[in-house]
Amino acid sequence: MLTRIRQSIVYRIGTLMLLTVLVALSSMVASYVISDAADNDAEAVNLAGSLRMMSYRLAATAPAGDVGATRVLADELTLRLERVLSISDFSAGDDLPAAVHYRAVMDDWSLDIRPLLEKVAVGGTSMNSLQLASSLEPFIQDVDILVSDYQKIAEEKIDLLRIVQLGSLFATVLLVYLSLYILHRSVEQPLKQLIRRSRSIAEGDFHTHRIGIDSEDELGLLARTINHMSDVIHANQRDLERRVKRKTAQLQRSHEALDFQYRLARRISEGPLSGKELETWLAEFASVAKLDNLDLCLMTPEGEAPYEHLVLGLGNEQCEPADCNSCVSSCSSTAEGSQRVYRFPLEVDKRNYGVLVCSVAADSELEDEQQQRLATFADSITAAIAINERVDQDRRVALMDERAIIARELHDSLAQSLSYLKIQVTRLNRAKRNGQMDAEQVEEIITELKQGLDSSYRQLRELLTTFRLQIGQGGLRGILEQSILGYREQHPQISVLLDYRLEEIPLTPHEEIHLLQLVREASQNAVYHSQGNLVEISLVQGEDLAVHISVRDNGVGIGDSPEKRNHFGMSIMQERASNLTGELSIRRRESGGTEVRFEFVPQYAREREMLWQSAS
């Protein structure tokens, strides 16, 4: 019971309310019982008091000799005495003073007084009223005592009722005060602390204010739970703050690493890295990755020793230049003496360009993030070396291609012209040996030799111009406009018009060069040989994605045998057309002049067509 009261506010308040109700009920029940017990006290006092009056009446009636009236009054007095006993709170045999006095009155009445009155009434004893009244005085005094006893009993009950009412009032006041005190101590004060703590928690303070409630009831349990919850939240908050700081630091390091990798990649894309730059990048990487001892050995794929060895810090103490292959080929973490060595080969496409070595103390290990950054840096260095090697190879290939182009151009132009001149010289020597030197024939051969030399010289100049030609920012259109300006300056009597509508077509450099040379060759033939005053150049794209090029003039038109002398450029145009997988046609226009037409499908259109076919 006490344990439940101590552990439950509800049970405690319920107990106080129950006690208050019990006190009130007890007071009401006691009042009712006392009131009920005192219900006949007034009647008993009245009846006892009426005995004196009847005694005086009998003292006056008996000496007069009225036996009947005397007996009636005597019976009435007897009945009243019995009635007094019946409404009393005691029995005739009790030891209470009132019971003792009642028995004395009954004995006097039944043994002395009533017989005396009956004798006086019948005349057996001669007594007057005064004498008889004097004889009744002891009896009347006993009746007065009995009346006093009944009055005292009634007063005692009233006093008891007062005591019960005062006691119940005091108990009620005490219980109300105790209830208010317990509510103040066990409910109001703890609730204030809980509210204050709840507000501090709502403001984010989980540790400053603690609830000092040590009770075992519901509020105490709630206080302990809130304190525990606050401690857990505060601990989690501190742990989260530490984790956030750690993650922020990691993000900062990752940002620095990403920024380093971005700048390194951008620098690699700009051109080759020199040894001094590699040393600078290596030092910056060590600072970003928080590493002290790094070795960067660079080797040729065919070499057995590094051509460049960059060391940062103490480097690898176990480095043995005589055994570089074992270091380059390994990719693991090994303990070597007082160091733990991590190796990251610079390898791409089964070609090894060296190794990046990181050394730490033998009793420590690199974090996964540091190993990943080392691998990424090694990959970047490998990519830089591979790109440099690829650029050099591309330059070699470009140089060889350029030499092949020069050889082809010389073969297709000067070689043919010189062959033609050699044929004319052979004709001249043959005519000389035969002794048949016809002046007209010699003049014809000399004329052809002169024309051939002029053609060869012109072709040489055109080749020099072609080899020096570069397509700048203006692209194909810009170089064509420059060529047209040159024609207009050299031949102001000829109008050269350009219709260029290939701005939205992504031509490859190979396609641009061949288109440029083809258009230049056709336009030069029109300017130099057409004898007209108008040249129209058109470059447009048709609906079938094919590029259509035409060069028209209003001159005398092409001859019946254009493949003969002075038309070596046509064969060159045919070869360029075949290189672009296109179709070239040269025809005489009905309105006069010559038209050179060329059609081909660009590479981007062919690739798109292949994608469509594979998708379908």
Total residue length of the chain? 616
Cα gap 588→594, rounded to integer Å? 5
**Residue found under tokens 């509508």:** 501
pLDDT exceeds 60 at position 568: no
For the stretch 347-401, pLDDT in tens is 877 778 888 888 888 888 888 888 888 888 888 888 888 877 777 776 677 667 6
Side-chain-side CA neighbours of 429 within 13 Å: the count stands at 6
What mean pLDDT, rounded, does the chain reach?
79
**pLDDT tier for residue 540 given thresholds of 50, 70 and 90:** very high
540 burial via Cβ count (<10 Å: 0-12, 13-18, 19+): middle
130 burial via Cβ count (<10 Å: 0-12, 13-18, 19+): exposed
Spell out the domains of the chain, with CATH numbers in brackets: 12-164 (1.20.120.960), 256-388 (3.30.450.40), 473-616 (3.30.565.10)
Bigger pLDDT: 458 or 289? 289
Note the pLDDT of residue 566. Answer: 42
Note the pLDDT of residue 5. Answer: 66
Share of the chain above pLDDT 90, in %: 5
Cα gap 429→562, rounded to integer Å? 27
pLDDT exceeds 70 at position 409: no
Cα gap 20→168, rounded to integer Å? 9
Of 47-51, 411-415, 574-578, 610-614, the poorest mean pLDDT is in 411-415
Please state whether beta strands 547-553 and 534-541 pair in parallel, antiparallel, or not at all (unpaired). Answer: antiparallel
Note the pLDDT of residue 152. Answer: 82
For the stretch 179-238, pLDDT in tens is 888 888 778 878 888 888 788 878 777 766 677 777 777 777 788 788 888 888 888 888
For the stretch 322-337, pLDDT in tens is 456 666 666 667 777 7
Cα gap 277→261, rounded to integer Å? 15
Note the pLDDT of residue 31. Answer: 82
Residues paired with residue 336 on neighbouring β-strands, in sequence order: 339
Bigger pLDDT: 23 or 201? 23
Note the pLDDT of residue 293. Answer: 82
pLDDT exceeds 80 at position 600: yes
**pLDDT tier for residue 565 given thresholds of 50, 70 and 90:** very low
**pLDDT tier for residue 316 given thresholds of 50, 70 and 90:** low
What mean pLDDT is predicted for residues 115-139? Answer: 80
Residue 506, φ and ψ in degrees, nearest 5 = -80, 90
Sign, CA torsion 546/547/553/559: negative
Q: Where are the beta strands (DSSP E) in 316-432?
A: 333-336, 339-348, 351-361
Side-chain-side CA neighbours of 472 within 13 Å: the count stands at 8
User: Tokens representing 574?
Assistant: 């045919």
Bigger pLDDT: 501 or 448? 501
pLDDT exceeds 50 at position 433: yes
Of 23-32, 173-182, 276-285, 425-434, the poorest mean pLDDT is in 425-434
pLDDT exceeds 80 at position 459: no
Dihedral, 249, 255, 261, 263 alpha carbons, nearest 10: -130
For the stretch 135-153, pLDDT in tens is 878 887 887 887 787 778 8
Cα gap 103→105, rounded to integer Å? 5
Going from the C-alpha of 484 to that of each of 303, 478, 604, the distances in angstroms are 54, 10, 28
